[in-house]
Chain A
Amino acid sequence: MDAFSNLANGIMTILTVQNLLLLFAGVMLGMIVGVIPGVGPSAGLAILLPVTFGLDPTGAIVMLAAVYYGAMYGGTITSVLINTPGESATVASTFDGYPLAKKGRAGPALVMAAVGSFVAGTVGAILISFLAPTMASFAATFGPPELFLVVVAGLLTLIVITQGNRMLGALSALMGFAIATVGIDIGGGQQRYTFGSVELINGIDFIPVAIGLFGVGEVLHTMWKGGHLEKLAFFGVSARSKGFWPTKRDYRENAAPIARGSVLGFTVGVTPGAGATVASLMSYNLEKSVSKTPEKFGKGHMPGLSGPESANNAASTGSLVPLLTLGIPGSASTAILVGGFLMWGLQPGPLLMEQNPDFAWGLIASMYLGNVMLLLVNIFCIPAFASIARIPFKVLGPIIIVFCAFGTYAVNASLLEVQIMLACGVLGFFMRRYGLSPAAMVIALVLGPLAEESLRQTMIISDGSFGIFLERGTSLGIIVLMVFLVTVPVLGGRIRSGISRAVSTIGRRRREDAPERESVDV
């Protein structure tokens, strides 16, 4: 099969000393990004992206992808030990993780979360190995009309699925599109919104915007909330202590939640806009609904940790599918990776896997190895990473700002970009404060030029007629999907209640069946 031979080639590509070292560096940096509260994977990727400037694209993507999924592992440590999620996708891990630490079971909780993350990451890597080529070959048939509609559909999904106010999500996306129009018009070469600045002729790069919104914005938001006054209550953990390892019963009890979380997470991750946070919260609700003992959830029940942990790792792998096959980022983190593709001279889109197989398959192959590394690093270095989480924000905040400033300056040696970064940091603070979505803004900024170019090409093909969107089968299908997405908020309540009713019924049946089975066993 093609997938196997491509995967074998991918493995051969990454089996160089440099790539393995980059993978290891990415894994370690991802863990550090994960354990630092207030620095999510988006901020970590944005700050580290300029570091990859001098690397070859395969090495760079291997390292950054490892940072991305490594952050999912690392975020769990703080969720369990200090009840503070390292990043949003591990919020659900605090619900049962911290109570487990209070019970003196921090060690087994962290090991089981690492095992769940490993299984989910590996399942995700297997699924992406087969799904990505199929989707890519289908997407290769897309023309400009379909590409334009896919971009719009991707943003629509992000806005519809986004938690909170959808109108504010739409406004955030429009802000991103507006920033994307700065620079030379690709059609006629006329300058737009450059105000005579030579530096703005090439447009506003997404790197200062992303670093500002996610890096500086997070620091300002944490400071506003009093993060510099925070005193951390911390549960210690040691690999040598008695009861560090999970019991056989733990493994038995968590096998099904890990399996469910892996499949659910990957499915949610493939959907643009949904992401790891939604996946982990959905998994927690699912586990609670189907559990025979739902009353134990929230009081230190391990399936309440292992399910969401598996889901967020599988989702982070799943979100790479639309990225590799369509060039459409489904989350802020993958938007930064798309920006990286452009920076490394690659064209994201349906032809990426065909034209750059070493790059795409090297990335997929690195996930298998990266997950093994993360499992080992997690289990044996938990105490070391836990100690990083003890560094207070009042020390970390200024250091992060210096990293952001240097990282931004390093890309184009432009002071204007560093100033844009700070301005975007302040904007990011207010966006978070008032419920707007920095993620939607960055995704729109990355997709803006693609949307404009594909619409321009579409209009040239159709002689200016919008009827072309209805004449082509695939584009008509995408329009139907978009109509469905628009109606989701209207029907959302009914769909949600229908699903939760069905899941509750399954859970009730399981609880009713349990005593019967026990009596039969006796």
Chain B
Amino acid sequence: MTPTSTTVPAAQAPADSAAGRGRWISPKAWFLLGTIVFFAVYTEMAFDLEWRTQAGRIGPGYFPRIIGVLAMLVAAANLVLDLRSETHEVVELEDEVGEAAEHLGRHLGLMFVFVAICAVFISVLVTVGAIPATAVFLLVTLLLLDPAHKVRAVVLAVAVTAFMYLSFEVALNAGLPGGILDHF
């Protein structure tokens, strides 16, 4: 991926509205903070594992301890760099949607709704069954992303589900979960 960096002055950072409420902490800093917490728990668990075995060989905790401590240090260093930075660097890796992408806005809310639908789809994959769950998932997400084309969404949901069934179940014998269809 080719990173292109756009530099947003801290003063113009999205939390301008937060001016006067103290220094703005970038989402990246929150992400790094979460990473440090994750690795702190990881390292704490690593210290419950042996560093060396009774035979004097490398124990199960040897690698995890090194990884955990190093990761916390590297994440903390990144966090300090981010907090100290006068500018908030937004690294955008490869602009897949072309020049117009900048004008299309950012759609974090939609993305999270999509992730939530994906989570529901995956959680019912076994109980409801791969085929019915896929058809409903496709219909809902296609309508979410393109509400103007309802007929197209229905046709695609049915056609793609049939194609998936033929590819994975008939051709590859993947053993997809039958779910409610097993009762018929």
Interface residues of A (CB under 8 A from B): 37-38, 40, 50-51, 53-54, 82-85, 87-88, 91, 163-165, 167-168, 170-171, 174-175, 177-178, 181, 185, 187-188, 190, 192-193, 216, 218, 220-232, 277, 281, 392-395, 397-399, 401-403, 405-406, 409-410, 413, 415, 418-419, 422, 425-426, 429-430, 432-435, 452, 455-456, 459-460, 464
Contacts and interface: CB of A to CB of B under 8 A. Distances in A.
A223 B98 CA distance: 13
A437 to B, nearest CB: 9
Nearest to B160: A399
Contacts of B123: 419
A277 B164 CA distance: 33
B109 to A, nearest CB: 10
B87 interface: no
Contact of A224 (B49, B57, B71, B107): B107
A178 B39 contact: yes
Contacts of A222: 96-97
Contacts of A84: 96-98
A403 B165 CA distance: 11
B91 A434 contact: yes
Contacts of B164: 402-403, 406
A509 B147 CA distance: 60
Interface string B113-151: 011001101110110001000100110011001100000
B125 A397 contact: no
A231 B97 CA distance: 9
B24 interface: no
B48 to A, nearest CB: 10
Given A85-B94, A223-B111, A405 B74 contact: no
Contacts of B60: 185, 187-188, 190, 192
Contacts of B47: none
Given A178-B71, A222-B96, A394-B145, A430 B176 contact: no
Contacts of B70: 174
A452 B63 contact: yes
A319 to B, nearest CB: 15
A51 B164 CA distance: 12
Given A397-B141, A432-B93, A167 B98 contact: no
B96 A395 contact: no
Contacts, number: 224
10 contacts: A87-B94, A91-B2, A167-B78, A178-B67, A185-B60, A228-B146, A397-B141, A402-B134, A409-B176, A410-B176
B29 to A, nearest CB: 9
Given A170-B74, A171-B74, A223 B114 contact: yes
A188 B177 CA distance: 36
B57 A456 contact: yes
Interface string B141-184: 11001100000100010001000100010001111110000000
Nearest to B66: A177
**B interface residue count range (under 10 / 10 to 19 / 20 to 34 / 35 or more):** 35 or more
A224 B111 contact: yes
A415 B125 contact: yes
Interface of A, secondary structure class, is helix
Contact of A188 (B59, B111, B142): B59
Given A399-B160, A405-B122, A410-B168, A227 B64 contact: no
Nearest to B63: A452
A399 B174 contact: no
B100 interface: yes
A353 to B, nearest CB: 29
Contacts of A402: 134, 137-138, 160, 164
A192 B49 contact: yes
B81 interface: yes
B16 to A, nearest CB: 20
Interface in B37-57: 39, 42, 45, 49-50, 53, 56-57
A171 B58 contact: no
Contact of B97 (A178, A227, A281, A429): A227
Given A174-B70, A402-B137, A165 B78 contact: yes
A187 B96 contact: no
B91 A164 contact: yes
Contacts of A398: 137-138, 141-142, 145
B22 interface: no
Interface in B4-20: 5
A220 B67 CA distance: 29
B167 to A, nearest CB: 8
A187 B58 contact: yes
Given A433-B91, A455-B63, 20 more contacts: A37-B97, A38-B97, A171-B71, A171-B75, A178-B42, A187-B53, A190-B60, A216-B118, A221-B93, A226-B97, A230-B100, A401-B121, A401-B141, A402-B164, A406-B164, A406-B176, A410-B176, A418-B125, A434-B27, A435-B89
A227 B175 CA distance: 33
Contact of A281 (B2, B78, B118, B160): B2
Contacts of A231: 100
Nearest to A281: B2
